[in-house]
Amino acid sequence: MSVDALSTTTSVFVNDAAHCYRIPSVVQTSDGTVVAFAESRDGSCSDGAARAIAMKRSTDGGKTFDENVTIAVGNETYWVGNPAVVYTKSGRIVLVYVKHKKGCVGDCGTGNGVVFSDDQGETWSEPLDISKEFGVASGAMPGPGTALQTDTGRVMVISHQGPYVADRISYSDDDGVSWTTTETSFKGMDEAALTQLKNGSILANMRHQKASSLGRAVAVSNDNGETFGPISFDARLISPVCQASIVTFNNITYFSNPASKTSRSHLTIRKSLDSCATWDTQTYLVEKDASFGYSCLVNGELVHVPDHGGVVYEATDVTIKFQTFPLSLSDD
């Protein structure tokens, strides 16, 4: 097996004495700009230190990234985290996040916000408060990772409301300006992602406390996210209790997570050619050793690295890295 010469790994967010970076998210714009995001945590890697959302841009397919830019920041009233991002058909980056109590450890949201960029991430809007539209007084915890735009143009975010309490769906039909939260409630679920499958269905893929024995939790909508069917479990997607990422493009669904039942190790990408009815035996190992375990896949083939995808992930050296990988998931 030969090494794929186009695959590269780049450190994106590197911790220093003042900041720890966790919870990666990523999007690619129409001109191939890769825009990566992460929580900027003040002074430690603790959940209670998540104060702002940092961004870096790459115009060469992830080989190099520009300097850090803070696009959402907390204040004396609240801090921010849990980035969930999508690039829409109109050319807008929409990034939804949670507001939470300053220094609070755990799921302690107090509201939600959204910021926009209409120029490939070069400049950003002022934050827009969408707390009431997300439907809970305590604040919803989006994603983290990717949001979704469906074939109809609807932007959708799945959020959890308290640790393993329930996941709910919020959507926008005007590129993220106004939002509606549906009555759908996935009880017992936590961090989650949405993707629109090859067959047109929308799939929710969710974290839960019995993932090690049951695999990832999933549910399917056939009416553009208005309603979802019952939760089932995909035992083929082995997982510890951890976040995961799922995207669909070129009629193929890609999934990344720590592929282990016992630890957040063996970060692996796998693919399905048939709307997740089956999963291909060919997989791609990003990192073997244990880490914090979070990852986020680019929702599309990399413009500047043909036949390759990209993933941002929490690496074993406690940095956030970007890695390209062959869409075949083979090194040949």
Q: Is residue 233 part of a domain?
A: yes
Q: Mean pLDDT across the chain, nearest whole number?
A: 94
- Choose among 14, 8, 131, 148: nearest CA to 80: 131
CB 189 within 8 A of CB 197: no
Rounded distance between C-alpha atoms, residue 103 and residue 108, angstroms: 10
For residue range 285-297, what is the model confidence (pLDDT) as tens digits?
Answer: 999 999 999 999 9
User: How many folded domains does the chain comprise?
Assistant: 1
Please write the tens of the pLDDT for every residue from 124-135: 999 999 999 997
How many percent of the chain have pLDDT more than 90? Answer: 86
Query: Given this model, what pLDDT does residue 7 score?
Result: 84
Domain span at residue 97 reads 9-326
Question: CA-based Rg of the chain, rounded to a whole angstrom?
Answer: 18
State mean pLDDT over 230-245. 98
User: Averaged over 94-109, what is the pLDDT?
Assistant: 86
- 102 compared with 64, residue with greater pLDDT: 64
- Whether 306 is covered by a domain: the verdict is yes
For the beta carbon of residue 263, count every other beta carbon within 10 angstroms.
14
- pTM assigned to the model: 0.96
Distance in angstroms (rounded) separating the CA atoms of residues 70 and 38: 10
Does 257 score more than 80 pLDDT? yes
Q: What b/e sequence results for 27-66 when a residue is b if at least 16 CB atoms lie within 10 Å of its CB, and e otherwise?
A: bbbeebbbbbbbbbbbeebebbbbbbbbbbbbbebbeebe
In a domain, 222, yes or no: yes
According to DSSP, the residues that pair with 95 across neighbouring strands are: 85, 115
Answer whether residue 3 is part of any domain. Answer: no
**What's the one-letter identity of residue 272?**
S
The span from the first CA to the last CA of the chain, in angstroms, equals: 6
pLDDT for res 6 = 76
* In-domain check, residue 255: yes
Inside any domain, residue 172: yes
**Least confident residue range of 88-97, 114-123, 157-166:** 157-166
Q: How confident is the model at residue 2 (pLDDT cuts 50, 70, 90)?
A: very low
pLDDT digits (tens, 9 = 90+) for 263-319: 999 999 999 999 999 999 999 999 999 999 999 999 999 999 999 999 999 999 999
pLDDT at residue 136 in the model = 65
Answer yes or no: is 77 within a domain: yes
Give the C-alpha separation, 86 to 145, whole Å. 9
Confidence at residue 162, expressed as pLDDT on a 0 to 100 scale? 84
Is the peptide bond prior to 144 cis by the omega test (within 30 degrees of 0)?
yes
Predicted confidence (pLDDT) at residue 119 exceeds the cutoff of 80: yes
211 in Cβ contact with 239 (< 8 Å):
yes
Q: Which residue carries 């070129």 as its tokens?
A: 250
Residue 1 has pLDDT above 70, yes or no: no
Where residue 84 sits, what CATH number does that domain have?
Answer: 2.120.10.10
pLDDT band at 3 (very low <50, low <70, confident <90, very high): low
Q: Is residue 318 part of a domain?
A: yes
Burial of 172 (0-12, 13-18, 19+ CB in 10 A): buried
pLDDT for 108 beyond 60: yes
Tens-digit pLDDT profile for residues 145-185: 999 999 999 999 999 988 899 999 999 999 999 999 999 99
CA distances from 114 to 82, 175, 182 (A): 11, 11, 18
